[in-house]
Structure 1
Amino acid sequence: MKKILIVGAGGQIGTELKIELRKLYGESNVIAADLQSDRNDDYSVQLDAMDASALSLIVNKFKIDAIYNLVALLSARGEKDPALAWKINMGALLNALEVARQYDCKVFTPSSIGAFGPDAPKDKTPQDTVMHPTTVYGICKVTGELMGNYYWERFGVDARSVRFPGLISNSSLPGGGTTDYAVDCFYSAVKGEKFICPIPRDRYMDMMYMPDAIDALHDLMVAPPRPLIHRNGYNVTAMSFCPEELFEAIKKRIPTFEWEYDIDPMKDKISDSWPNSLDDTCARQEWGWNPKWDRDAMIDDMIKVLSAKLL
């Protein structure tokens, strides 16, 4: 990769991906695109990802050879407007794939644990298994994986993807996902507020700290193509926990932290359909995936960074 375009650069992943990729490739070689451009960023452009012509013009102008398509309506938000979720999630991806076909670009687009449904194995969910998601978000992710494979097999577009678990970030707030509680609770704990958790106390889900997520994105994109068997939809994970375990671990560090449960029926149903944990053996074998952050290290860093930011 020499010239990179991040579509959806203002989102939870894009905000941090932009910083890290510019450290590696130089500021002028990483173009940040979103619905609103950043006036303080000389290499930020305004782009509606649904406008294929505008995307094509940007790719041509900046001689882009790798597109990170991060545009999506997340799980809980998507259930409130399924038609809009499908339109945005699939429209942005198809535009990226078509423009990549035109200009011979690599494409990354994130999949998710939401691609699995209630009939998939719950523990150590394998790379290859039944995938019958019960949310429009999950349906989009499965379709996206299939479309990435199709464009690779049919047109030679070098499309790649990982199935992200819940992502925990200390720099940007999440945007309507089922795993958001694992970020929101830190803000409450640091500010001394009681946290109201919408997820059942014993509901296990895979999680990952954002630095590991950025590493996964980059490491997969620079991996040589030959070993990539499951190129569109690698299971990746770093940790698995339930809310009660996370809150108790935070309380050991912030003794005043309090919480209670007020279950959101929609998030309860969605999270119950997802795996408790993933088997990421294929990612480890095919491109060397190896997370650096475990639960305790993540908690310590989240509290440290947010305390400096909020207090």
Structure 2
Amino acid sequence: MGCEREPRARAPDARRGDRGRSGGLEGLPGERRPPPVTWRRARAGGRARIGSRRGGLGPPEDKGPRRAGARAAGGAGIAHVLLRRVAAFAASLVAASEGQCKRCPLLRPSRGVRLLADRGAPRPGLAGVRGTGRQLRAAVSALPPARAGTGLGAESTFEKQMQIIRILRHVAVARGAVQRPLRSCWMSVLPVRCLGNSSSQIPENASFHSAASSEADPPRILITGGLGQLGVGLANLLRKQFGEENVILSDIKKPPNYVLHRGPFIYADVLDYKRLREIVVNHRITWLFHYSALLSAAGEANVPLARAVNITGLHHVLDIATEYHLRLFVPSTIAVFGPTSPRNPAPDLCTQRPRTIYGVSKVHMELMGEYYYYRYGLDFRCLRYPGIISADSEPGGGTTDYAVHIFHEATRRGKFECNLKANTRLPMMYISDCLRATLEVMNAPAESLSLRTYNISAMSFTPGELAQEVRRHLPEFQITYQVDPMRQAIADSWPMNLDDSNARKDWGWRHDIDLPELVTKMLNFHGSDTRVAQTN
């Protein structure tokens, strides 16, 4: 009399979406459909629980009004369900953050709806969401489930992922995960390994890292490639400001004794990701200056090595800095410009088509750093250095190194053979101005920076003009020209001047040393004091 329960292997039913033994959907004879997936929505708190059936992924089953939940189609639906799930979790915790991070877009009524509500969906009012988590829970519960065929594409999926990230950042603040006061909500609290183009890459048990030092503590600083032209001088300045033990110099070369006596030094290879990560963790690093690179002429002589050090090493540094919330500085160079770039002067933003592996890798660095800033909130800062002239370092294989080498030869032999033409004009800067600019941009408030990469400049001269200024101190000095075609081609593709007006406006950059002061300092350092005094 009563209806008997149907056997399991019954005829396919279009409404129920039955599956065969293999777990796939059965339809018309010979028709193959993708395997199904069931999205369940818990009734309490508007939380969505993602559950997979035996059939794997596929269209949702219709279980009637009782189980009418989120119906996700493709990546956009997954992102929508994850958004609802994370937002519901955030709702129970956001009340604890009252009074914190008031500039967060999640808590602004004018933008909160845009962050939590789907496009085209009714937008509940969030006027009082700052005060209570109850209202936020109500707003989240009012979000409609995603429906198949809503036209949500890859762009909408990305936007939903960004909403999830912003909500989780706010949750971390609410739970006290970040131990020091935040200047804004853009400080990332997500591990970089959990972020990707697919929402399935965000696991349920993801751990959230946070900065452990307070604002009152001095930064713990690591300098990679520290035995190059700039690293040792930068370490000396940083140690004067933050303390000797808080600045760690690193390189793959054996350091001279005077470097070891001035402060901590460790071996660090930027191509060894695991070791570099251990250094950051063990030494509690908060600032990272990444100077490891092969310069222009040296890079052209060994392109595979330059590609590995300048690009792969950069990727390691970016990932580690993002994961551990470091303030990252990476220097750029005039080598990022090419023959089609404006040359007199070159602005901050213009066409960049370099012709060297060094320049290509630095353009890549600028773009990746800016991407990580906007995508993950990485505090990335960069300066485009002109040719840097320093007295206490040997030439390192750069095209502008003639301006350093000329002083070594002038004091030792009284003559110099230049590998560039006498009228090749390039922007230059004395090392003290360069290091001071680096410290100033790293100490500048984040809100004052309108760019991630700035030009800086001080002077511009040719080899002929530099030789003429040297003769004012050493009349017997002689210069000859034996042009290197490769170096000359590189120099001809670089700008003659840099426009640094944005740096001067945003964070008050000013240079101190011009050409006459530069020549005097360099000659005095190289032991020509007596000869200069006799000449004068």
TM over 0.5: yes
Task: Write the letter of the residue equivalent to 1:283.
Answer: A
Assess, with a 3 A threshold, how the Cα gap between structure 1 residues 309 and 14 changes in structure 2: closer, same or farther.
farther
Q: Deviations over 1:67-99 (max 9, x none)?
A: 000001000111112222111111221111111
Determine the C-alpha separation between the residues in 2 that align with 1:193 and 1:215. 32
* Structure 2: gaps of 5 or more residues: 1-217, 532-536
Q: 2:230 aligns with which of 9, 13, 19?
A: 13
Determine the C-alpha separation between the residues in 2 that align with 1:90 and 1:216. 24
* Structure 1: gaps of 5 or more residues: none
Determine the C-alpha separation between the residues in 2 that align with 1:67 and 1:126. 27
Determine the C-alpha separation between the residues in 1 that align with 2:517 and 2:352. 32
Match in the other structure for 1:268 = 488
Within a 5 Å distance, the mapping from 1:221-240 to structure 2 comes to: 221-231=442-452, 233-240=453-460
Assess, with a 3 A threshold, how the Cα gap between structure 1 residues 65 and 309 changes in structure 2: closer, same or farther.
farther
1:241 correspondence with 2:461: yes
Match in the other structure for 1:83 = 304
Structure 1 stretch 76-85 or stretch 39-48: which is displaced more? 39-48
Match in the other structure for 1:123 = 344
1:205 correspondence with 2:426: yes
1:289 correspondence with 2:532: no
Aligned length in residues: 310
1:179 correspondence with 2:400: yes
Tell me, yes or no, if the aligned pair for 2:338 and 2:493 is still in contact at 8 Å. yes
Determine the C-alpha separation between the residues in 2 that align with 1:309 and 1:32. 32
Determine the C-alpha separation between the residues in 2 that align with 1:221 and 1:179. 25
Match in the other structure for 1:113 = 334
The alpha-carbon deviation at position 310 of structure 1 amounts to 12
Task: Write the letter of the residue equivalent to 2:502.
Answer: C
If the length of structure 1 is used for normalisation, what is the TM-score?
Answer: 0.96
Tell me, yes or no, if the aligned pair for 2:223 and 2:231 is still in contact at 8 Å. yes
Determine the C-alpha separation between the residues in 2 that align with 1:20 and 1:172. 16
The alpha-carbon deviation at position 174 of structure 1 amounts to 2.4
Within a 5 Å distance, the mapping from 1:41-120 to structure 2 comes to: 41=261, 43-120=264-341
Higher relative contact order (CA 8 A, sep 6+): 1
The alpha-carbon deviation at position 192 of structure 1 amounts to 2.8
> Runs of 4 or more off by more than 3 Å in structure 1?
36-39, 308-311
Tell me, yes or no, if the aligned pair for 1:192 and 1:256 is still in contact at 8 Å. no
Within a 5 Å distance, the mapping from 1:139-150 to structure 2 comes to: 139-150=360-371
Determine the C-alpha separation between the residues in 2 that align with 1:178 and 1:226. 35
Tell me, yes or no, if the aligned pair for 2:411 and 2:528 is still in contact at 8 Å. no
Q: Deviations over 1:278-306 (max 9, x none)?
A: 11001111111111111111111111111
1:278 correspondence with 2:498: yes
Q: 2:521 aligns with which of 281, 301, 308?
A: 301
- How much identity, in percent, do the aligned residues show? 40
Match in the other structure for 1:35 = 252
Task: Write the letter of the residue equivalent to 1:284.
Answer: R
Q: Which has the larger radius of gyration?
A: 2
1:158 correspondence with 2:379: yes
The alpha-carbon deviation at position 37 of structure 1 amounts to 5.4
Task: Write the letter of the residue equivalent to 2:252.
Answer: L
Determine the C-alpha separation between the residues in 2 that align with 1:303 and 1:236. 25
Instruction: Identify, as 1 or 2, the structure richer in strand.
Output: 1
Match in the other structure for 1:2 = 219
Tell me, yes or no, if the aligned pair for 2:523 and 2:529 is still in contact at 8 Å. no
SS in 1 for 2:230: helix
Task: Write the letter of the residue equivalent to 2:470.
Answer: I
Tell me, yes or no, if the aligned pair for 1:191 and 1:310 is still in contact at 8 Å. no
Determine the C-alpha separation between the residues in 2 that align with 1:133 and 1:36. 29
